[in-house]
Chain A
Amino acid sequence: MTNNCRKLQPLRHASDDLKLVDALRNGHVDAAATLYDRYAVHVRKVIVRIMGMDQDLPDLINEVFYQAFKAINTIEDGSRLQAWITRVAIHVVRGCIRRRQRKRWLLFSPEREPQTVGIEAGASDESLEMVRWVRDVMDRMPADEQIVFALRYFEEMKIIELAEACGISRSSAKRRLIRSERRFKKIAEKYPALKKRLDLSAKWRRR
């Protein structure tokens, strides 16, 4: 009997993604919480890589999981739940960036709203300055270019992973990445601090 008890200890649909997806589709009581607990850290990282330490981070995380929960019937391969939820996160982030850009355009406000938070602590002034400028440059790029640039260089995704995460072909991902690099360089030229911090000139001129 004790053996039975031991054997049954790990029983939960949380044990693998396929079972978790089934449980979600069947409306099981605690499956949504399990999904959240398993992937919240990953989703937060994806959002932060693209948008930085944003003041709307809790709302964005919540929205990603809510959208995922509502769209759970659309997942084709339950064993690739992490890749799928990454795509949902990117979709939500893209929407958020576009909304903010539209809002700025409608309000004729060329200046970015200060969205980055919490960067006062835990890093040197030099690093913090660099983070601020990079985020500022990123914010002036189109949403799709921000996403591929961040996932490639901040999250260190390979092109194939990048393509899957964005739901585009590898060649499209490469083209979009090249466009984003050019745009980043162009905008970064206007930021002396960033220019100084990075060894931009030589390598960038070669491109």
Chain B
Amino acid sequence: MSDFSAMGNELSEVEDRLLSDDTSIEEAREEFIRRVAITPPGVSDNKISRFVLALSATAAVVTVVVCAVLYLEHSHASDVPIGRWLQAPANGELPLEFSGGDQIVFAAGSRCRVAELNDDSVIVVLENGVANVNVRHRDATDWRVNAGPYEVRVTGTKFTVEWRPDETRFDLNMIEGDVLLNGPLVPDGQRVTANQSFSAVISKKQAQLFMGEEGKPELPTDVIPERKAESPEETKSQPEVRDVERAASNSRETTNDAEPGIKVPSSAAVKTPGWLEKAGDGEYEEAVGMVVDRGMAKTLCESDAAGLLLLGDAARLTGHLGMASEAYRKLREQYPGTGRAATAAFSLGRMAFDLKGNCEEAALWLEVYLDEQSGATLSREALGRLMEARIQCSQTEPAKQTARRYLNSYPNGPHGQRARELLGEAGQE
């Protein structure tokens, strides 16, 4: 061993010992996560490029503007990253412009994704925040904005849509034109026209349609009656009423809805934990905070199937994906074979697809759900999403198989058109 190596070994030993008390990794992690949250990946600032750009600024600006104008006139906006989550800056708006002058401006802090962008269809997903939408009317184009569990089907129109997952609050204010709204508390769909507004707080099962902003109530009353216990047929026909609504009611599901093998604590004998009450009231952020304070491991051990599902939903809707995943997996482990375990599989699939962008994981969980609960409430949605996930994973043949299965079961379902396109049947009808 050389003198340098011996010296190096001794130095490394000393510094390794010092590293045992070092907290740099934890300190740096938070800042790193904060920075990447506002930076798209792969955006490298090249000093040479900047220098060159600085020298030729005028020419470059003119060229870029001319090209952009020409390009936008003839095609969809190429810089809109399809499928990638975007976040508006904390103190500014994020505008997205589409061909033909269509525009969506996301308010500060909003989180969104362009899920689909074709000549004849555009799907924009609003995960959290406010979107100001201005779309020109074109007969052949299918424009949709998905805000949480709501789907706003757009014709030519101008409106503002807001979705707050932590409050399960949805607001739609029409300025011009009209839209067709589908989602929880509007089981048959609702047409909302110019100057009308629609507000809903799903966790409170309150929804209201009213004229203009001025008449906006604080949602004290239910205009759309709360649905009573549904028959199996009704349940099957309403798959669009998704589990956000279910999440709010889970905490109230006790003996009547108990599944075989599930421990259902008697409300008289056991004091309901605070987080469960908060989650049951739709105050998901507070509920998650309380779970963090009391300890995740303890909460997982003490919760029954309904509690675990509610915890998973609350965590998912507030963006705590790790916690949501833990709760859903614990539920599947503790209560295998139950309806709630299957629903947890659906939620894991949905989370993997919508929030983590992991199409392979999404496809596997959705398959699990369909294996366990074929024909149940969320089957149509699960099949549609499974087809989307397989398309995204470039699994062409399995995607086609799923498309055939979807069309056999739900020929008029929301994914029907996509399924037909995939199978090359769109033009044959």
A105 at the interface (CB under 8 A from B): no
**A109 contacts the other chain (CB 8 A):** no
Distance from A59 Cβ to chain B, minimum over Cβ atoms (Å): 7
Max chain A C-beta neighbours (<10 A), residue from B24, B81, B329: B24
Q: Do most interface residues of chain B lie in helix, strand or loop, or is the interface mixed?
A: helix
Task: Give Cα A13–Cα B321 distance, bound, in whole angstroms.
Answer: 14
A61–B368 CB distance below 8 A: no
A74 touches B358 (CB 8 A): no
**CB–CB B41/A32 < 8 A:** yes
Q: How close is A114's CB to chain B, nearest CB, in angstroms?
A: 15
CB of A16 to closest CB in B, whole Å: 12
Q: Using Cβ atoms and an 8 Å threshold, which residues of chain B touch A40?
A: 25, 28-29
Taking CB atoms, residues of chain B closer than 8 Å to A57 are: 22, 24, 28
For residue A97, CB closer than 8 A to chain B, the reply is: no
**Mask: chain B, 370-393; 1 = CB below 8 Å from A; 0 = not:** 011000000000000000000000
In this complex, what residue of A is CB-closest to B352?
A: A11
Interchain CB contact under 8 A, A131 and B11: yes
Q: A58-B24, A66-B32, A153-B5 are in contact. Are A5 and B41 (CB under 8 A)?
A: no
Chain B nearest CB: distance from A66 CB in Å? 5
User: In the complex, A71 Cα to B341 Cα: how many Å?
Assistant: 41
Closest to B7 in A: A198
Residues in B neighbouring A197, C-beta threshold 8 A:
7
Is B18 within 8 A of A26, CB to CB?
Answer: no
Complex alpha-carbon distance, A14 and B341, angstroms:
24
* A44 at interface by CB-CB < 8 Å: yes
Chain A residue numbers with a CB within 8 Å of B15 are 48-49, 52-53, 131
Of A5, A26, A52, A200, the residue contacting B3 (CB under 8 A) is A200
Q: Whose C-beta in chain A lies nearest to the C-beta of B341?
A: A1
Q: Give A130 to B10 CA distance when docked, in angstroms.
A: 9
Which residue of the partner chain B has the closest CB to A13? B358
Is A154 located at the chain interface by the 8 A CB criterion?
yes
Complex alpha-carbon distance, A154 and B371, angstroms: 55
Contacts of A191 in B (CB 8 A): none
Give B33's nearest chain A residue, CB to CB: A33
Which residues of A120-178 have CB atoms within 8 Å of chain B's CB atoms?
A: 121-123, 127-128, 130-131, 134, 149, 152-156
When chains A and B are docked, how far (Å) is the Cα of A197 from the Cα of B7?
A: 9
Complex: chain A residue closest to B19, CB-CB = A48
How big is chain A's contact interface, by range? 35 or more
List residues of chain A with CB within 8 A of the CB of B336. 1-2, 5
Q: What total of chain B residues lie within 8 Å of the partner, measured CB to CB? A: 61
Min Cβ gap A3→B in Å is 10
Q: Is the CB of A28 within 8 A of B358?
A: yes
For the complex, give the distance between the alpha carbons of A119 and B16 in Å.
11
B230 on the A face (CB < 8 A): no
Cβ contact of B27, chosen from A2, A24, A58, A155, cutoff 8 A: A58
Chain A residues numbered 1-60 whose CB sits less than 8 Å from any CB in chain B: 1-2, 4-5, 8-9, 11-13, 23-33, 36-37, 40-41, 44-45, 48-49, 52-53, 57-59
Q: Note all chain B residues with C-beta closer than 8 A to A111.
A: none
Name the one of B14, B45, B352, B365 contacting A70, with C-beta atoms under 8 angstroms. B45
- Contacting pair A30 B7 (CB below 8 A): no
Say yes or no: A27-B41 contact (C-beta < 8 A), given A130-B7, A203-B3: yes
Q: How far is the CA of A184 from the CA of B2 in the complex (A)?
A: 14
| Smallest beta-carbon distance A199→chain B, Å | 6
Asked if B54 lies at the interface with its beta carbon under 8 angstroms from chain A, I say no
CB-defined A-B contacts under 8 Å, sample of 22: A1-B336, A5-B329, A5-B336, A12-B361, A23-B357, A27-B81, A28-B357, A62-B31, A66-B35, A73-B42, A73-B44, A118-B18, A121-B18, A123-B17, A153-B2, A153-B5, A155-B12, A156-B5, A156-B8, A181-B4, A198-B7, A203-B2
Known A70-B42, A134-B11, A156-B8; 16 more pairs at CB < 8 Å? A11-B358, A12-B361, A23-B358, A29-B85, A32-B33, A33-B29, A36-B33, A48-B19, A58-B28, A62-B31, A118-B22, A123-B13, A127-B14, A149-B4, A152-B8, A153-B8
Chain A to chain B: the 5 pairs with minimum beta-carbon distance, closest first? A153-B8, A73-B42, A61-B28, A58-B27, A62-B28
Could you tell me which A residues sit within 8 Å of B by CB distance?
1-2, 4-5, 8-9, 11-13, 23-33, 36-37, 40-41, 44-45, 48-49, 52-53, 57-59, 61-62, 65-66, 69-74, 118-119, 121-123, 127-128, 130-131, 134, 149, 152-156, 181, 184, 197-200, 203-204
